[in-house]
Amino acid sequence: MPDLVPATGTVHWIGAGLSTGSGLAALCEHTDGVRLWHRTVERAAEALDRLGLTGRAEPLAYTLDALTERLAPGDVVVSMLPASEHAALLAACVARRAHFACSSYVSDAVLEQVPAATGAGIVVLTEAGLDPGIDHLFAHSLVARARQAIGDDTAASYRLTSYCGGIPAVPNDFRYRFSWAPLGVLNALRSPARYVENGTESVVDRPWEATREHLVDGETFEVYPNRDSVPFIEQYELPRAWKPLTFVRGTLRLDGWLRAWDAVFEQLRTGDDAGIAALAQELAAAHPTTDTDRDRVVLAVSLEVRVPGSGTGDTGDAGDVDDQVEGVGNGTVWSGSYLLDLEGDEEESAMARCVSRPLALGVRHILDGSLSPGLSRAAETAPCSEEWLRELGDQGLEFTLRVEG
């Protein structure tokens, strides 16, 4: 493993949009070398003023060339830009031997540069926000607890669901307000989703067509799968002796969302890229998030593991467990769930809080040298996840854990 480039303490935070919040303030408390890059110096200064950070970070006008000129070995670049811009940013970091962090999923373009980044001794931290990010921490924690209770070699079946959504705190007729770029929301709905249902892999070309009701803490929501859930079975370290009956990572929306978006779905079925881009602009204008609106973030991750019971007549095949009736003779049942349910306030949106705080925590781990060169996805092991969750809890991010069995 190449030697880690020591962190300088200088952090370049790129972008000050809807997901930039108190995480940036936390970094300003940790280091006095924070620079906020935005479209113009004026916009960057306005963002710092909004966050109460005037004089605590340097406002700068962002261009890739301007950033590259200011980078020194050991600096940390934090990207709040769209994922499509991460590859170019990472290339600049590799060239200057600066560390890189973002809250987005790992793209192929980023993966291609990981060997060079590792060789340069720099950290590439990804998936360190809310979803992806905190959802990974919750899943790792639940899986580790279940493995300890049941054992890796015990035949069992399980259901793991992970749903997250940014929704209006006060429901509106549209059942949604945009907390990130509308075009990104629409394009995500146009991307196929792969997941496990009824013990087999399923693919849906239009994810909203797989929408179903989902009960969270007594409240009914609508949920649908997104992206490719299947690789996370291995990433979350679920034992091979356990059979997945359900494994899905997806999006959570208010009850009634599917009906309210019927006209949008019709255009998604027939529209081309230009038409979808125009639709995104129309929706942004019709359903903006204003200063008086309050958002809500709900992240619900649950895991249920069932082990066949003796004397029930089953063959010991984990697949048989799902057909048994819960109660006497149903064997061992272990279940656990995490719930994060936060509302925004006058100082900060819930989305900004939930994205920026774990990302800032990851940056602090880069600064203290505890992350190794190469690719990291938030905390990729159960012990590290527990540590991150403890630290986030200490910083005031509230969530609940329930375990039975």
Catalytic positions: 131
Contact 373, 122 (CB under 8 A): yes
List all residues 6 or more positions away from 153 whose beta carbon is below 8 Å from its beta carbon: 239, 241
Residue 364: phi and psi, rounded to 5, are -60, -35
Q: Which uninterrupted H or E stretch holds 45?
A: helix 41-50
Q: Give CA–CA dist 141/338, Å, rounded.
A: 9
Residue 101: phi and psi, rounded to 5, are -145, 145
Q: Give CA–CA dist 173/262, Å, rounded.
A: 12
User: Buried (b) or exposed (e) across 233-269, using 16+ Cβ within 10 A?
Assistant: beebebbeebbbbbbbbbbbbbeebbebbeebeeebe
Q: Give CA–CA dist 189/208, Å, rounded.
A: 7
Q: Which uninterrupted H or E stretch holds 281?
A: helix 273-286
| 3-class DSSP state of 230 | coil
Phi and psi based region of residue 383 (left: phi greater than 0; alpha: psi -120 to 50; beta: remaining): alpha
Q: How many residues does the chain have?
A: 405
| 3-class DSSP state of 235 | helix
**Of 2, 22, 24, 20, nearest in space to 11 by CA:** 24
Q: Which uninterrupted H or E stretch holds 61?
A: strand 58-61
Looking up tokens 């048994």 gives: 324
Tokens of 48: 């710092």
Start-to-end CA span in the chain (Å): 42
